[in-house]
């Protein structure tokens, strides 16, 4: 009997595919977690990190089965227990914080009732005491109005708050270990800092062990004592956080780390001639939603008088938190959402505000690539059909020529020919995003609007996609407008950056100058990006006044 | 387990996997289609001919499924009835679902006033009781098979429309629809190529269900004398006209009911168990 809280020995998990084939997704993993220790599982999607974390509760997702090994939590083997016995342990010994708290809360029940539910199910304490405990947890997680926030419904609090409330729900049963399943992935950087800080304080105070699942090494560096690097269902490397960050041995870990190092812009600045017409000029663009008011203004205006200029072959970044209007700006440029006022000039010609008032050739030249390749690709069509349609539609390419061009496009985005017949559901996240991008390339555009195209991807895959974009730019002479909340992505590829806040352009910077931003919001945004340094979070000094002004939790 | 693995392997080679239930359901449907096509050559007795001296006669060597309330051969009547039940119901349900689904998708994609007008108009149509509507139409133009098919299609179009529109509205909000629109695609492409493949499964399931309703309504109309005219009868009418034999456990009630059940259940089983394309194509 060693002193470890969790002992996973030689764990094997198998999944069964729809043709009856069995696939080993976890191939003999062994792992220890001591009391009060936070261990991070890091790896790309499909590496089995969530699957391993879930086995701590004796749970596997549908179609999966634990086929070997043992998972001891506090000396009890979760694999051998009956479902009823496991239910007794879940919530009291092991608790779970999901990736999307918004999906985990029932929208029809108040937050307090859901948070104290665990205590009621396990009959841990009387209702009044559970409420008091919940309020003390809200306070510990630095939630605003801890006494009153429990009376609200899930849609009445922000995403960052909801994520902390999900943690309160997990902690109320006084678990020995909490599973954090990518809890900050869906949050803005400025919010992420708050949530991470709250998690760190609470786990430290109550001496709770944790297993932190993430693909973001910088986030993990702030919170974990040890890091376990996974790939293809096997442990590649284990070590303390500083060991992994400073002396990574395994090539995959080094690749992960390399994806974080800022890459210098290797572009040679072109000699600008003033006679050159800008590719895109956006002048005082105002875009909004809802019915028009009496004064002609839209009910909710998402973008207010934003102007920008983009030269041929150059890239523009647009950054800001979610809801700042950056995606709306892209949609207005593409003609999806007609702008309410202002002008868009492309190649010296004024474009119609709505897509249907533009010519087919104008539509072809501006392509937009969406964030979620899952919804941007028709799940019922094969990759071949998806890429073939713009070829036929814009260029009238058919038959053999079309087949050849599809192959060329797949080559361009580094996809194997074997994906041609597959449907989007049969591709990985990175592959889907490449198909999504290849479809835009099929139109042979001059400008591509990239709306958060890397935020759904793992760091390593995202870095590869960015590299690909740079290469294609060199080969095809494209221009990009890059919309993102991730500064490192934008800095890696853009010549100029626009910072947006609440629908307005607050600052225009160039990456060279980006180290000394002037606007307080830009400064807050830049300082919130996690660094690979484990002491970064503890040493981070942000002006509380600014945080209060700009983070609407 | 061994049979399922071996059929699984066979399925992989074809790229599709059909299960036993689906195949047997298809078998039953095909059997009825063959019967419907060749019924005039298969019947042992004429449909209107009284061949038994007794009514509600039992199963015998000469009358395989007994006789009806007038002493006519039930077996022959069922074989001939297959033509009406299968033909009228299939035609009506196909027309109803085709027009309903096409209109539903159009309304979802076009939106605006077209959506509002179509929806309100079909809602109004939906509010008319189906039997009453049938009565009025048949009273106005007389009972004929084309009139029956048209009436039944009109009655079941609003339901199919509502169903397809609800599904299409969900698909319409997806990013790939935005991409297609901003590519400059026109309405026919949007509905046929982007939306339809995504709603086909539920639409087919709905078609199966609606088919059963049509069979039942058709038998109801026949009972009121508005459906297929005597001496011919569809299966529903056979059940209705022989309902008096129920206390005597007459085969004349039992077998038409079994025929209806076998067809409607098979249609639904087939739709629920259509061959599925196997996504995992890697070799074992």
Q: Report d(CA B26, CA B10) in Å as an integer.
A: 19
| Cα of B252 to nearest chain A Cα, Å | 46
Residue A533 lies in a domain: no
Q: Is A19 on the interface with B (CB under 8 A)?
A: yes
- Secondary structure (3-state) at A317: strand
Residue-range domain boundaries for chain B? 21-277
Identify the residue whose tokens are 């807050």: A524
Q: Report d(CA A48, CA A233) in Å as an integer.
A: 5
| Contact call for B5 and A370, based on CB within 8 A | no
Residue range A102-130, pLDDT digits in tens: 788 888 999 999 999 988 888 888 989 99
Residue ranges of alpha helices (H) inside chain B are 2-14, 20-42, 74-110, 112-126, 130-141, 145-172, 175-183, 187-189, 196-223, 235-241, 251-272
Q: Which residues contact A156 (CB under 8 A, 6 or more apart)?
A: none
Residue A538 lies in a domain: no
Tell me: do A105 and A172 sit in the same domain.
yes
Return the pLDDT at B278.
Answer: 64
Return the pLDDT at B13.
Answer: 52
Residue A552 lies in a domain: no
Task: Give B166 or A534, the one with higher predicted confidence.
Answer: B166
Residue A335 lies in a domain: yes
| Distance between start and end Cα atoms, chain B | 17
A431 touches A419 (CB < 8 A): yes
Residue A535 lies in a domain: no
Q: How confident is the model at residue A475 (pLDDT cuts 50, 70, 90)?
A: confident
B239: burial class by Cβ within 10 Å (0-12, 13-18, 19+)? buried
Q: Report d(CA A59, CA B25) in Å as an integer.
A: 38
Q: Report d(CA B206, CA B167) in Å as an integer.
A: 12
Exposure class string for B25-62: b at 16+ Cβ within 10 A, else e: bbebbeebeebbeebeeebebebeeebbeebbbeeeee
Tell me: do A452 and A364 sit in the same domain.
yes
Pairing of strands B16-17, B276-277: antiparallel
Return the pLDDT at B117.
Answer: 94
Q: Report d(CA A181, CA A108) in Å as an integer.
A: 24
Return the pLDDT at A526.
Answer: 78
Max alpha carbon distance in chain A (Å)?
Answer: 78
Residue A502 lies in a domain: yes
Q: Which residues on B lie below 8 Å from A426 (Cβ)?
A: 279
| Omega within 30 of 0 (cis) for the link into B231 | yes
Q: Is A335 on the interface with B (CB under 8 A)?
A: yes
Q: Which residue of B has its CA nearest to A365?
A: B183
**Residue A3 clears pLDDT 80, i.e. is over it:** no
**Residue A285 clears pLDDT 50, i.e. is over it:** yes
* B→A interface, C-beta within 8 Å: 4-5, 8, 11-12, 17, 174-176, 178-185, 193-194, 197-198, 200, 276, 278-282, 284
In sequence order, what DSSP letters do the residues of A330-359 get, joined into one string?
HHHHHTSS--SEEEEEETTEEPPSSGGGS-
Q: Which residues contact B214 (CB under 8 A, 6 or more apart)?
A: B88, B89, B92, B93, B96, B152, B156
Neighbours of A131 (CB within 10 A): 18
A286 touches A340 (CB < 8 A): yes
Tell me: do A469 and A338 sit in the same domain.
yes
Tell me: do A123 and A215 sit in the same domain.
yes
Residue A543 lies in a domain: no
Residue A270 lies in a domain: no
pTM over 0.90: no
Q: Which residues contact B208 (CB under 8 A, 6 or more apart)?
A: B267, B268, B270, B271, B272
Average pLDDT across chain A, whole number: 84
Residue range A162-221, pLDDT digits in tens: 888 998 999 898 899 999 988 887 777 777 888 888 888 888 888 899 999 988 888 888
Provide the ipTM. Answer: 0.75
Tell me: do A63 and A116 sit in the same domain.
yes
Tell me: do A197 and A284 sit in the same domain.
no
* Residues found in chain B: 284
| Contact call for B197 and A389, based on CB within 8 A | no
Q: How confident is the model at residue A274 (pLDDT cuts 50, 70, 90)?
A: very low
Tell me: do A162 and A72 sit in the same domain.
yes
Instruction: Say how many domains are in chain A.
Output: 2
Tell me: do A409 and A486 sit in the same domain.
yes
**How large is the average pLDDT for residues A248-269?**
70
Residue range A41-69, pLDDT digits in tens: 988 777 888 888 989 888 888 778 888 88
Tell me: do A405 and A476 sit in the same domain.
yes
Q: Report d(CA B260, CA B222) in Å as an integer.
A: 15
Residues in chain B with pLDDT values less than 50: 1-12, 283-284
Question: Which two structure tokens, joined as six digits, stand for B11?
Answer: 């399925």
Q: Report d(CA A276, CA B112) in Å as an integer.
A: 43
Torsion A545-A548-A549-A551 (CA) sign:
positive
Rounded to the nearest angstrom, the gap between the alpha carbon of residue A38 and the centroid of all alpha carbons in its chain is 22
Q: Report d(CA B103, CA B113) in Å as an integer.
A: 14
Q: Report d(CA B77, CA B39) in Å as an integer.
A: 10
Q: Report d(CA A68, CA B36) in Å as an integer.
A: 58
By Cβ distance, the residue of A18, A372, A380 closest to B175 is A372
Return the pLDDT at B17.
Answer: 75
Tell me: do A129 and A210 sit in the same domain.
yes
Q: How confident is the model at residue A551 (pLDDT cuts 50, 70, 90)?
A: low
Can you identify the CATH homologous superfamily of domain B21-277? MetI-like (1.10.3720.10)
Domain of residue A215 covers 6-258
Identify the residue whose tokens are 């830049």: A526
A224 touches A214 (CB < 8 A): no
Question: Which two structure tokens, joined as six digits, stand for A128?
Answer: 């009044």
Using only C-alpha atoms, chain B has a radius of gyration, in whole angstroms, of 23
Tell me: do A223 and A361 sit in the same domain.
no
Return the pLDDT at B281.
Answer: 53
A409 touches A387 (CB < 8 A): yes
Return the pLDDT at A552.
Answer: 54
Return the pLDDT at B14.
Answer: 56
By Cβ distance, the residue of B4, B176, B281 closest to A376 is B176
- φ, ψ of residue A536 to 5 degrees: the values are -60, -50
Count chain A–chain B contacts defined by CB atoms under 8 A: 70
CATH of residue A131's domain is 3.40.50.300
Tell me: do A149 and A118 sit in the same domain.
yes
A277 touches A347 (CB < 8 A): yes
- Mutation target to probe the A interface, by most A beta carbons within 10 A, among B11, B184, B283 is B184
**How large is the average pLDDT for residues A3-28?**
83
């Amino acid at each position: 009997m060693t002193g470890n809280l969790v002992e996973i020995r030689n764990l094997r998990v198998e999944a069964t595919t729809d043709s009856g084939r069995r696939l080993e997704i976890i191939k003999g993993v062994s792992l220890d977690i001591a009391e009060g220790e936070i261990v991070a599982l890091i790896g790309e999607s499909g590496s089995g990190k969530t699957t391993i974390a879930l086995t701590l509760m004796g749970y596997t997702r549908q179609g999966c089965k634990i086929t070997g090994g043992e998972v001891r939590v506090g000396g009890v083997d979760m694999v051998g227990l009956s479902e009823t016995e496991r239910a007794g342990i879940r919530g009291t010994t092991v608790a779970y914080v999901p990736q999307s708290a918004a999906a985990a809360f029932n929208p029809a029940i108040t937050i307090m009732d859901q948070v104290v539910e665990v205590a009621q199910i396990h009959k841990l304490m009387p209702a009044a005491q559970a409420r008091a405990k919940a309020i003390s947890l809200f306070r510990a997680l630095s939630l605003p109005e801890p006494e009153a926030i429990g009376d609200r419904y899930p849609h009445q609090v922000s995403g960052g708050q909801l994520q902390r409330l999900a943690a309160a729900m997990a902690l109320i049963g006084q678990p020995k270990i909490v599973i954090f399943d990518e809890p900050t992935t869906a949050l803005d950087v400025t919010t992420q800092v708050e949530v991470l800080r709250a998690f760190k304080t609470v786990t430290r105070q109550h001496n709770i062990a944790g297993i932190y699942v993430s693909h973001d090494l910088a986030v993990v560096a702030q919170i974990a004592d040890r890091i376990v690097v996974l790939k293809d269902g096997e442990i590649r490397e284990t070590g303390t956080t500083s060991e992994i960050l400073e002396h990574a041995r395994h090539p995959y870990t080094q690749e992960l780390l390399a994806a974080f190092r800022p890459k210098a812009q290797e572009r040679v600045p072109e000699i600008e001639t003033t006679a050159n017409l800008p590719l895109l000029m956006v002048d005082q663009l105002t875009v909004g939603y809802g019915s028009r008011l009496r004064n002609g203004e839209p009910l909710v205006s998402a973008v207010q008088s934003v102007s920008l200029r983009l030269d041929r072959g150059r890239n523009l970044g647009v950054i800001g938190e979610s809801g700042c209007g950056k995606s709306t700006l892209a949609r207005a440029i593409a003609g999806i959402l007609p702008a309410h006022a202002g002008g868009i000039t492309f190649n010296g010609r004024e474009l119609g505000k709505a897509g249907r008032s533009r010519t087919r050739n104008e539509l072809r030249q501006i392509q937009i690539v969406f964030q979620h390749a899952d919804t941007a690709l028709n799940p019922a069509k094969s990759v071949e059909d998806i890429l073939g349609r713009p070829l036929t539609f814009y260029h009238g390419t058919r038959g053999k020529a079309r087949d050849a061009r599809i192959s060329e496009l797949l080559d361009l985005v580094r996809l194997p020919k074997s994906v041609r017949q597959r449907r989007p559901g049969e591709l990985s996240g990175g592959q889907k995003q490449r198909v999504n991008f290849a479809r835009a390339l099929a139109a042979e555009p001059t400008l591509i609007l990239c709306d958060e195209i890397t935020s759904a991807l793992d760091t390593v895959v995202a870095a590869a996609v960015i590299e690909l974009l740079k290469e294609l730019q060199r080969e095809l002479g494209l221009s990009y407008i890059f919309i993102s909340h991730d500064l490192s992505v934008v800095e890696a590829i853009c010549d100029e950056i626009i910072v947006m806040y609440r629908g307005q352009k607050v600052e225009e910077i160039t990456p060279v100058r980006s180290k000394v931003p002037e606007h307080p919001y830009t400064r807050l945004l830049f300082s919130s990006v996690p660094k690979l340094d484990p002491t970064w979070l503890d040493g981070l000094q942000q002006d509380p006044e600014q945080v209060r002004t700009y983070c609407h939790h | 387990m061994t049979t399922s693995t071996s059929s699984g392997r066979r399925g992989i080679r074809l790229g599709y996997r059909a299960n036993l239930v689906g195949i047997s359901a298809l078998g039953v449907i095909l059997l009825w289609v063959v019967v419907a096509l060749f019924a005039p050559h298969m019947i042992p007795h004429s449909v209107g001919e009284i061949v038994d001296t007794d009514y509600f006669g039992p199963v015998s060597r000469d009358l395989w499924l007994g006789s009806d309330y007038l002493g006519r051969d039930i077996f022959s009547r069922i074989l001939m009835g297959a033509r009406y039940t299968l033909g009228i119901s299939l035609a009506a349900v196909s027309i109803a679902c085709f027009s309903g689904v096409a209109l539903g998708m159009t309304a979802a994609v076009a939106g605006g006033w077209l959506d509002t007008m179509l929806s309100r108009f079909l809602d109004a149509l939906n509010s008319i009781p189906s039997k009453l509507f049938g009565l009025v139409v048949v009273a106005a133009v007389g009972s004929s098979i084309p009139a029956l098919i048209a009436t039944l299609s009109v009655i079941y179009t609003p339901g199919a429309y509502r169903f397809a529109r609800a599904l299409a509205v969900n698909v319409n909000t997806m990013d790939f629809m935005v991409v297609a629109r901003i590519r400059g695609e026109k309405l026919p492409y949007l509905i046929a190529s982007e939306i339809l493949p995504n709603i086909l499964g539920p639409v087919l399931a709905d078609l199966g269900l609606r088919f059963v309703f049509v069979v039942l309504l058709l038998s109801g109309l026949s009972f009121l004398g508005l459906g297929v005219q005597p001496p011919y009868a569809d299966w529903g009418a056979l059940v209705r006209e022989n309902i008096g034999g129920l206390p005597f456990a007459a085969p004349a009630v039992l077998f038409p009911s079994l025929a209806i059940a076998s067809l409607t259940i098979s249609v639904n089983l087939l739709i629920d168990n259509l061959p599925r394309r196997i996504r995992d194509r890697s070799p074992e």
